[in-house]
Amino acid sequence: MITIFLTFLKIGFLGFGGGYAMLSLIFQESEKLGMTVQQFADLNALDGLIPGPIAINSATYLGQLYGGFWTAVAATLAVCVPSFIFVPLFLHYEDKINDNWVLTAILDGIKPASVGLILAVALSLMLLTVFGINGLGEWAKASLDWTSLLVLGVVFFLDSKYHVNPVWLILLAGLLGGVVYYL
Amino acid sequence: MHKNWILFKVYLLAGTFTFSGGMAMLPVIERELVGKYHLIERDQLYEYATLSQTFPGVIALNNACFVGKKIGGTVGIIAASLGAILPAFVLMLAATIAYQMIPQEGVVLSIMAAIRAASAAFLFSAAYSLARFNLKDAPTIILAAACFLLTVLNLANAPTLIVIAGIVGIILSRVKQVRRV
């Protein structure tokens, strides 16, 4: 429980730029806790189904998975700590801080970085779902799963181009997976 | 109604009906706190919304803390934060417990495999839309590409890269300031 608390504390403090920027941190840090790529993919799907900030959803999910209710509470509180520290601190010294260019500058660096980081996570998930391997190192063992490739392509297209509600896209994917099983 | 109770209620409402958090909840907050209860000025709310995004941590929660502090002090922070966190926590906890009870066999495995492929697609889509808004010039493209390659090749981990990217951001901003002078 303490490990998970500290993990999400770290994720919170390094989590600039919102949910998707934080996902790569959550992905890597949770792997250390024993989370599989499958479990992460499921977490990301649940994020699409359940309202709320990605970081809080992730903390609750991993806490519940790796320790039950109280660990879920601890992880969720941990990821909230930075807000409780920085916001009151900022408001207290607001008059003295007339230019927060440093924060904006940090964010200007982290936003582009998070594009690369999230793309790397996306690739990991694609390697697992479409090729059935954990990482590029296992490339020799890769076998192409046509259904997953089709789902990935169609969902990406509908999501990025038409912004279809993720709930429908997940239902569509699940339906296709079910139909393929009985073919 | 007491203002801290209103804070709790408004953030609970906003948290329950907005997906993916962040600033998606802002229209609800504005309608309720500015339009209905007149507890905060519209300009102030938007200033806080912008600030929330530059602070570390959960953006929606940062926003709840700013607005909560302004309206109700420390108690206001607690009220607004609880409202912002509770829906996500309760719903996700219920979903995870349900998820743990799903038998991992037969047709379920096939359905889950397809949903995981969809999950990968969501991340590609997120990377694509983040790239469209944030990769504007050579330095930002190089930074993104470097982070991608270093991660894929297992040469650096995410926390390290984020710290380095923050430092690069500061340096780039200084360089721009010097050039302007």
pLDDT above 90 as % of chain B: 78
Could you count the other beta carbons within 10 Å of the beta carbon of residue B121? 28
pLDDT value of position B38: 94
Chain A residues in contact with B71 by the CB 8 A cut-off are: none
Confidence at B122, pLDDT banded by 50, 70, 90: very high
pLDDT digits (tens, 9 = 90+) for B55-113: 999 999 999 999 999 999 999 999 999 999 999 999 999 999 999 999 988 899 999 99
Chain A segment 3-22 residues within 8 A of B by beta carbon are 10, 12-21
Distance of residue B106 Cα from the nearest chain A Cα, in angstroms? 8
pLDDT value of position B176: 85
Chain A's closest residue to B91, CA to CA, is A50
User: Higher confidence at residue B145 or residue A93?
Assistant: B145
Chain A segment 107-126 residues within 8 A of B by beta carbon are 107-123, 125-126
pLDDT value of position B180: 75
- Asked if A130 lies within 8 A of B85 by C-beta distance, the reply is no
Chain A residues in contact with B97 by the CB 8 A cut-off are: 64
Res A98 pLDDT > 80: no
Query: How far does chain A reach from its first CA to its final CA, in angstroms?
Result: 44
Q: How many CB pairs under 8 A join A and B?
A: 368
Pick B169's closest partner by Cβ from A46, A107, A151: A107
Mean per-residue pLDDT of chain A:
92
Chain B residues in contact with A136 by the CB 8 A cut-off are: 152
Q: What is the Cα–Cα distance from A177 to B107, expressed in whole angstroms? A: 8
Q: What is the mean pLDDT of residues B34-53?
A: 92
Whether the complex's predicted ipTM surpasses the cut of 0.90 = yes
pLDDT value of position B128: 94
Chain A segment 35-74 residues within 8 A of B by beta carbon are 38, 41-42, 44-57, 60-61, 64-65, 69, 72-73
pLDDT value of position B20: 62
Rg value, chain A, Cα: 19
Ordered by start, the domain boundaries in chain B are 3-100, 103-180
User: Higher confidence at residue B25 or residue A153?
Assistant: A153
Classify A146 in phi/psi space as left (phi over 0), alpha (psi -120 to 50) or beta.
alpha
pLDDT above 70 as % of chain A: 98
pLDDT value of position B22: 64
Distance of residue B149 Cα from the nearest chain A Cα, in angstroms? 8
Confidence at A104, pLDDT banded by 50, 70, 90: confident
Could you count the other beta carbons within 10 Å of the beta carbon of residue A3? 12
Confidence at B21, pLDDT banded by 50, 70, 90: low
Q: What is the mean pLDDT of residues B127-149?
A: 94
Sign of CA dihedral A165, A167, A171, A176: positive
